[in-house]
């Protein structure tokens, strides 16, 4: 059944349909149910993207062979991770850019466990925002 504008008794134009649909989506996203659906969708996207990155790069630390996914991290080989995060802003564009780079075969990333990644960063003095002498 065609949608009619109640106030005018005529069919809605494509622009009015689009506006009405966007208004409905916006109102739904403000409800608890809508927020939960949005969160599930975001988590699903994140898990698929990270899974694809690990699928290409391997699911273990390249230094020590550690395999527990909870402690594996995507490392920037050249140590430019902070600049990359600032440039890309939100996590969607950040992980999307990593996935595109990995699929394209660029050798910019590797999988390291948290320990190996921290040691590499300290040895290469990559994390300038941390005062190394205060840690050790």
Number of independent structural domains in the chain: 1
Three-class secondary structure of residue 9 per DSSP: coil
Phi, psi (5° rounding) for residue 26? -65, -45
Residue 8 has pLDDT above 60, yes or no: no
| Higher-pLDDT residue of 126, 94 | 94
**121 part of a folded domain:** yes
**5 part of a folded domain:** no
Range of lowest pLDDT (66-70, 115-119, 124-128, 132-136) = 132-136
pTM for the model: 0.62
Determine the pLDDT at residue 19: 86
Query: Domain range spanning residue 81?
Result: 10-135
Determine the pLDDT at residue 14: 87
Determine the pLDDT at residue 7: 56
**2 part of a folded domain:** no
- Tokens found for residue 62: 């390249």
| Higher-pLDDT residue of 58, 39 | 58
Q: Which residue has the tokens 């993207």?
A: 49
Determine the pLDDT at residue 30: 75
Sign of the alpha-carbon dihedral angle for 46, 51, 57, 58: positive
**112 part of a folded domain:** yes
Residue 87 has pLDDT above 70, yes or no: yes
33: burial class by Cβ within 10 Å (0-12, 13-18, 19+)?
A: exposed
Residue 69's Cβ-side half-sphere holds a number of Cα atoms within 13 Å equal to: 9
- Tokens found for residue 14: 């494509």
Q: Say which DSSP state 71 is in.
A: G
Residue 125 has pLDDT above 60, yes or no: yes
**97 part of a folded domain:** yes
Provide the pLDDT confidence category of residue 54 given band limits of 50, 70 and 90. Answer: very high
Q: How high is the mean pLDDT of the chain?
A: 81
Three-class secondary structure of residue 119 per DSSP: helix
Residues 6+ apart with CB under 8 A from 85: 94
Bridge partners of 5?
10
């Amino acid at each position: 059944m065609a949608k009619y504008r109640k106030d005018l008794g005529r069919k809605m134009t494509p622009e009015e349909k689009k506006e009405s649909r966007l208004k409905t989506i916006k109102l739904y996203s403000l409800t608890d149910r809508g927020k939960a659906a949005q969160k599930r969708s975001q988590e699903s996207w994140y898990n698929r993207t990270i899974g694809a990155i690990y699928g290409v790069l391997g699911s273990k630390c390249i230094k020590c062979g550690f395999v527990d996914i909870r402690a594996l991290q995507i490392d920037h080989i050249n140590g430019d991770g902070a600049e990359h995060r600032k440039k890309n802003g939100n996590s969607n564009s950040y992980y999307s850019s990593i996935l595109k780079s990995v699929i394209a075969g660029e050798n910019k990333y590797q999988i390291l466990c948290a320990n190996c990644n921290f040691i590499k960063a300290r040895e290469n003095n990559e994390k300038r925002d941390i005062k190394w002498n205060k840690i050790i």
